[in-house]
Structure 1
C-alpha cells in the first residue's frame, strides 16, 4: 500500500483511506438508481444501464486511484447523462447506439488531447465566468428534469408549465423526498443525497405494500441476482454508421466534449484543493494523469453501455473524512463493483424516488451562481442566456451555444474583441454555423 499510494507522504493511513472511500461511495451511490432512470428514457435497457454504471464507475475509480493517486472517484456524470438522453437522443434524433458511439469518439478525442496537452490549453482558454454559468445551468436543467419526471411540474396549454396534482400519492412522495433530503443536507449529514433516496424509497414501499397506494415503489422479490444484462456491451459499435449519415453527430460529440471538459476541470480543482494536491505554483499535481484517467473512463463506459464517465464532486465527502490518496478512489471502485449483484433492489427506485436526488444535485450545482460577476453585463448577459435557454429550450448544448454567442457579441460591442481568446473565436464560429445550418 505504501509503495502504491505513498500514504505516509500524504499524512494518512490504510484505515482512514478505506473509510474515506466508503464515504465517497455512499455519497455517489444514488447514481446507480438515477442513471438507469435517465438513460432508460432513451429506450435503453434499465438493467443493462445499471450494470454499465456500476462496472464503469468501479473500473474508472480504480484506474484513477492507481494511475493518478487522486482521491477522486468517477461514474457516469449527472448533467451529461441528461444531455445524452434529452438532447442527443431526444432532440437530435440519434439512436441510443449512435449516441454511445458519439460518447466513444468523444472519449478517444479526450485521450488524444490529454496526452498532447491540448485539453489543458482549451480549458484555460474558456472564460471562467462562462464555466460557472454552464455548471449552474446544468444544475437547473437536471432539477427541472427531476420535477417533471415526478409530476411536480407538468405541461400546460395556457402557461406551458404548471404545478402538478399535489393530491397524487407519487407527487407527495417526491415532495417528501425533497424535504427529507434537504434537511439531511443542511444538517451536513454525509451522503445526504443517498440516504434521502433510501428513506424515500422505504416510505414509498411501506405506503404501497401496506396501504395499497398506486404508483408506489415495490418491495423486491429478492436482494441478489446473478442474471446480468450484457445487451449494451459493445452496442456503441452498431451506432458508428450514424457518424457518417446523421447531420448532428459532430454537434453531439462537441457537446459531450464541452460539458465534460468543465465538469471534470471544476471537480479536480475542488477535490485537489481540499486534499492538498496543489503545488507552490497553484497547479494541480499529476493533473495530466488525472485527466487521462477521466478520459479512459469515458471510453470504457461507452463500450459497455453508458453515457460519459466523469470525476464526481461528491469525492470531496471522502476527502472531508481524511482521504488523501488513490486508495480512497480504489476503495470506492471496489464498492461499486460489488453492487452489480444487487440489481433487484432497484425495483424500489421510481421517478418519485429519484426526483429528490436530481433536485438536490441541481441545487448543489446551481451554487456556482454566487461566483458569477453579475455587475459585469457581459458576464451577466452571457451567463443568463446560457442558463435560461438550457431550461426553457430543454437543451444543454443550445444553452451553451447561445451563451457563447452572446459573450462574443458583447465583447465586440464593448470594444474588447482583441481580448477574446482565439479558441473562443473558433467556438463562436462553430456555434453560428450550428444554428445556421443544422437546426
Structure 2
C-alpha cells in the first residue's frame, strides 16, 4: 500500500486506493466500446477482425500504463475514434492505399510526435491555446461524438436536401439505442456506477431479441495479433503520392490528441491558471503509444474523453489508469462478446449501424457539453472563436478542421481588435500553417 501511495502520490492528491480502483473500473466501463468498435471499423479494410481486437486491447493497455507511469493522470489512452474512420474510409477506401501503407503513415506520424514531445513543442502549444478555445474544443468533441452516436443508432438518416433528417423511428436499431440511452440516463440520475456499460448490455440484449445481433459465445483464447502486427509498409508511406497521407495523420494526431487532452483536463479540473501540469509527460505517453500502436497493427492512440466518467468518480492519479489498462487486457479473453457487440449491420439504405454502442457515444457527448457554461459569453473576442470551434468540429466531422477555424477566427479578431500583442507566437504560426493548408486544397 505504501508503494502505491508513494508511486502515484495518493495522499498528496487526497484520494484512496479504493477510489482510484472504482474510477479505473468506471473509465473502462465507459470506454470499453472501443474494444467492440475498433475491429468493426478497421476490418472493413481487409484487416483481420480478431487480430485487430487483440491489438486494440494490447495497445490500449500499453497506452494507459504509459500515461499512468509517465504523467500520473487518470486519463485513459486508446485508438482514436475519428482517426480509425479516416484510416479505413478515407486512406484505404477512398484514396485506395493498402492498410499496410496506412499503418506506415501512422507510425511515421507517431515518431514525428515523439520528437515534438521531447522538444516540448506540443506542450507549448497546449499552453498557448486560450481558455475559451480549450473549452470550445471540449464542447465540439462532445457534439461530434453525439452526432456519430445518432447516426449509428439510426436516429439520423442522410438527406439530399438537408444533409441529415430524422431516421425511421420504427426500426429496431432505434429502439435498441433508445432503450440503451434510457437505461444509461436513469442509472446516471441514480448515480449508479457502470451506467454506460449497462446501456450497451441492454441494447445488445434487445438486438439478440430482434435477431440483429448474433451470439458468438462469451469466452475464448486470446486472438493472435500476427495477421496485423509488424505489417506496416513504411517505405510505401514515403512514396511521393502517399506523403500527403502522413501530413494528414500528422495534423489529425497533433490537434485531436491535444484537443482530447485539453477537454479531459478541463472536465477534471487538472488545469491550473491556464496551464496543465506534466503536459509534456502526458503528450509523450500518447506519442509513444501511437508508434507502438502502428507496430501492433492499429491506428492512432489519443487520450480518451470518456475518462471524464472516471474522474467524476473521484479518480485523480495514474493508479486509476493502471486498473483500466488491466481490464483492457482482460478483454482479450472476451473476443466473442466483442464481436457480438461490435459487428454492426447494414440497414435498408446500405449504411452500417452500431446501435449497441451508440448510446455510449450519445451520453458521453452530454458529459462534454458542461464545458459550454465555462466560456466567457460576455466577451465577443472569446465567445465567437469558441463558438466557431464547437460548431465546426461536428459540422465538418473533423476535430482538426474545427480547431483550425477556431485558431483562424481568434487570431483574425485579435488583430482587428488591436489585441494582437497578447497572441502567442505558436497560435500565429499554426494559424498561418492552417491557411496555407486550406489554400492548397
TM-score, shorter chain, exceeding 0.5: yes
TM-score by length of 1: 0.84
Counterpart CA distance in 1 for 2:383 and 2:96 is 32
> Per-residue displacement from partner, 1:279-318 (whole Å, max 9, x unpaired)?
9x99666554343223222221222122322333444554
Contact 1:97/1:239 (<8 A) preserved: no
User: What does 1:424-435 correspond to in 2, within 5 Å?
Assistant: 424-435=427-438
Give the whole-Å Cα distance in 2 for the aligned partners of 1:99 and 1:394.
Answer: 20
SS in 2 for 1:310: strand
Of residues 333, 337, 347 in structure 2, which corresponds to 1:341?
A: 333
- From 283, 286, 297, the equivalent of 1:294 is 286
Deviation at 1:201, TM superposition (A): 0.6
Render the CA deviation track for 1:247-287: whole Å, top value 9, x for unaligned: 353233122111101312443465474xxxx89x9966655
Q: Secondary structure at the match of 2:158?
A: strand
Question: CA 1:376–1:44 in structure 2 vs 1: closer, same or farther (change >3 Å)?
Answer: farther
Matches within 5 A, 1:24-423: 24-40=27-43, 44-82=47-85, 84-85=87-88, 95-208=98-211, 216-238=212-234, 240-242=236-238, 244-246=240-242, 247-268=244-265, 270-271=267-268, 273=270, 286-318=278-310, 323=315, 325-349=317-341, 350=344, 351-423=354-426
Quick check: 2:108–2:246 contact (8 Å CA) kept in 1? no
Q: Which runs of 5+ in 1 are unaligned?
A: 209-215
CA deviation profile, 1:19-63 (whole Å, cap 9, x unmatched): 443333223322212333444456644333322221111122223
The answer (yes or no) to whether the contact 1:80–1:260 under 8 Å persists in 2 is: no
For the Cα contact (< 8 Å) 1:95–1:239, is it kept in 2?
A: no
Conserved in 2, the CA contact under 8 Å of 1:234 and 1:304?
yes
CA-based RMSD of the aligned residues comes to 3.1
Give the deviation of 1:166 after TM superposition.
1.4
Q: Look up the SS of the partner of 1:161 in the other structure.
A: strand
**Helix, strand or coil at the partner of 2:302:** strand
Q: Under a length normalisation based on structure 2, what TM-score does the superposition of the two structures give?
A: 0.84
1:52-96 per-position Cα deviation (integer Å, ceiling 9, x unaligned): 221111122223333444444322234554555566666777654
Deviation digits for residues 155-190 of structure 1 (CA, Å, limit 9, x no counterpart): 122333211111211222122222222332333322
The CA distance in 1 between the partners of 2:19 and 2:395, in whole Å, is 45
Q: 1:316 and 1:157 mapped to 2: Cα distance? A: 36
**Offset of residue 124 of structure 1:** 1.0
Partner of 1:2: 2
Question: Secondary structure of the equivalent of 2:37?
Answer: helix
Match of 1:213 in 2: none
SS in 1 for 2:164: strand
The question of whether the paired residues in 2 share the 8 Å contact of 1:98 and 1:243 is answered with no
Q: How many residues are aligned here?
A: 426
Q: In 2 relative to 1, CA 178–296 (structure 1 residues): closer, same or farther, beyond 3 Å?
A: same
Separation (CA, whole Å) in 1 of partners of 2:116 and 2:288 = 12
Say whether the 8 Å CA contact 1:22–1:331 is kept in structure 2. yes
